[in-house]
Structure 1
Amino acid sequence: MGNGGRVVLVTGVSRDLGRRFAVSMSAQPSVRRVIGVDVVPPRGDLGDVSFVRADIRNPIIAKVIAKEDVDTVVHMSVIATPGSAGGRHTMKELNVIGTMQLLAACQKAPGLRDLIVKSTTTVYGASSRDPAMFTEDMQPRRAHQSGYSKDAAEVEGYVRGFARRRPDVRVAMLRAANVLGPIVQSPITSYFRLPVIPTVLGFDPRMQFLHADDLIDALRHTALSDVSGTFNVAGDGVLMLSQAIRRLQRPSVALPSFAVGGLGSALRSARIADFSPEQLRFLTYGRGVDTTRMRNVLGFTPKYRTDEAFADFAASLTPTGGRSTRVIDGLTHALESAGERRRELEGSRHG
């Protein structure tokens, strides 16, 4: 530790959660200095955090770690939304190449003691064959084809490789459930912000949520502890999608799966919501994770249950009862044309 306290490097501070976490770490008595790294400066106030403008895809990150005598790295820059990154290709680069470069830099840093990585329960995927609750040692029931879940699975693989090569470094990974908060921008928050919520006909998936404040507390708790390993982090309990929509007081429309998929593509190209195939699977099958290890081994309990995290998020939205007929008409039209396209495609296949 040397002269009085840790030196912590946090990636992904241009986004709100990364910035808030870095600021909360800088207030800890056992922390001497926090360095926040990202490609663009954060919009909000960083307080005592030193900002370094660096792209973690670039080897320069190794110089930052060496020069600042960093002993703790908290990697928060694996992102779920291609829109914010400038498209899926850039998102994959930032997530996967960025993590590889960061871990290569960590490997060369003899003074590094702790590596904390924010991962996601999305690594378990969502399918009809899933267990009721995933524990940390379970694998997804179907291989990740693309998108955020595939990135997260690759990132976790690289982190495990790093842990084998540097057994002297404590490594902890937090698999966070869908994070909710008034200012969180993610595929699931943009879905719940739609004026009319499309659901998959015949399915009512179970969901777990994690309040943004609890994510920050869990990361801080992990960074300041000495626990290693992988932990599911989610608020207690589950919420059915139908219950969630009722609490939002928003109209919903139940559609066959292909129509929700077609609508998803339309919303994605209009930059309204990010509907990936994995999001569609989640809205069909849902997902539950077991949080026993979080409580018993990591020693962390979220303040908000799943339903309370959702209620706090819902309170920040305005109900859309009245002005939604225009939107429903637009959606219906989009779906009808999606249905026609599908029939044409099927006709040409059989023709």
Structure 2
Amino acid sequence: MRVLLTGMGGELGTRVTNLLEADDSIEAIVGVDIGPPRGRIPRAEFHRVDPRDRARTVAVVRDLEPTAVVHLGVYEPGARVAARTAAAMTHASALVALGAAAQCPSLDRVVVRSGIEVYGRPRGGAQRPDETVHPEPTTPWGRTLLDVEDMAAQAAVAADVPVTILRFAPVVGPHIPTPLGRYLRLPAVPVSAVTDPPFSLLHQEDAAAAVVRALAAGIDGTVNVVGPGAVTPFQAVRLGGRIPLPTVGLGWRAARAGCALVGAPLPAHVIELLTRGRGADGALGEEALGLAPARSTVDVVHDLYEWAEIVHLAVDHRSAA
């Protein structure tokens, strides 16, 4: 197996790379991203490429002649890049990388990262949609992810190979740059004054394990991958020892402006999660992958707030002299 991995530079991409490197049956792992991996990759090969650079991306794909593609090259608004840039990069990454891979006769499977944001939160919609629910995204990020799914499906049809769409719950952690994670770590956190809807999360280790399992299985279809349980915004804020700031109506505009000023932008899909909730039924995913997320949503929140303490070393100036 020769694996092309887009989005290798992110926290999830680096972890998936390390898991693949431990599998001796994988002949080669080649990755592309806008930034280098966030850890050591002793066996994989990395290319720093902007996904909008079609020529360089296509060259990497053709040089590898992949048998499998793991497409993690989706860029959440307000995470690593600004919203407009994130949408352009996400679209280009799927269009170019998947399109080039589909033209390789060697290709035999594709795994794509998506998110439960594609279900949206329409009025009267299911609170915990399963895979039979028709996607109806109600935020720009949800629409971007659905666009990626559509391009992946088209590439898979063109290459006549199976494609596994993994719809992840939001993946957050202490070292993962996400708008939701930055927001929840603020000292004082705006929360809805009228609702406190539950949402589910996914730990990065469980997300990485799901990607690797999907790659090995070669499933043709879509599955939700969601951490067990849920928390509400108020509960999450209190778990982190933060101060909840009740917010309503136009107050969210002020909250968004204030959060942006301190480096924690609040894109529409995060506001939607905070005011309408975010969940999905992951039973089919567990059955199809033969793998259940080991860490609950509460575990993920606790992990998010775990910061290593700074230890100041006392210097003995007499010894130094």
TM-score, L = length of structure 2: 0.90
Equivalent residue number for residue 252 of structure 1: 244
The answer (yes or no) to whether the contact 1:261–1:280 under 8 Å persists in 2 is no
Q: How does 1:165-180 map to 2 (within 5 A)?
A: 165-167=158-160, 169-180=161-172
The answer (yes or no) to whether the contact 1:121–1:175 under 8 Å persists in 2 is yes
Q: CA deviation at 1:60?
A: 3.1
Q: How does 1:1-351 map to 2 (within 5 A)?
A: 6-57=1-52, 58-82=54-78, 84-85=80-81, 87-141=82-136, 143-144=137-138, 146=140, 148-167=141-160, 169-268=161-260, 270=261, 272-316=263-307
Q: Which one-letter code corresponds to 1:251 in the other structure?
A: I
Distance in 2 separating the partners of 1:135 and 1:271? 36
The answer (yes or no) to whether the contact 1:127–1:285 under 8 Å persists in 2 is no
- Structure 2 gaps of 5+ residues are 310-321
SS of the aligned residue for 2:202 comes to strand
Aligned length: 308
Q: CA deviation at 1:180?
A: 2.3
Q: CA deviation at 1:197?
A: 0.9
Distance in 2 separating the partners of 1:201 and 1:127? 21
SS of the aligned residue for 2:147 comes to helix
- Structure 1 pair 70/19, CA: closer, same or farther in 2 (3 Å)? same
- Structure 1 gaps of 5+ residues are 1-5, 319-351
Q: Which one-letter code corresponds to 2:106 in the other structure?
A: G
- Structure 1 pair 266/250, CA: closer, same or farther in 2 (3 Å)? closer
Q: CA deviation at 1:228?
A: 2.0
More helix by share: 1
Output one character per residue of 1:66-113: Cα deviation in whole Å (capped at 9) or x when no partner.
22231111111101134622x333211110122111121012111011
Distance in 2 separating the partners of 1:271 and 1:90? 20
Quote the RMSD (CA, aligned, Å).
1.9
4+ residue stretches of structure 1 with deviation over 6 A?
none
TM-score, L = length of structure 1: 0.82
The answer (yes or no) to whether the contact 1:210–1:309 under 8 Å persists in 2 is yes
The answer (yes or no) to whether the contact 1:126–1:278 under 8 Å persists in 2 is no
- Structure 1 pair 315/151, CA: closer, same or farther in 2 (3 Å)? same
**Percent of residue pairs identical:** 27
Distance in 2 separating the partners of 1:117 and 1:83? 19
Q: CA deviation at 1:61?
A: 2.3
Distance in 1 separating the partners of 2:189 and 2:78? 21
Q: CA deviation at 1:280?
A: 1.2
- Structure 1 pair 295/40, CA: closer, same or farther in 2 (3 Å)? closer
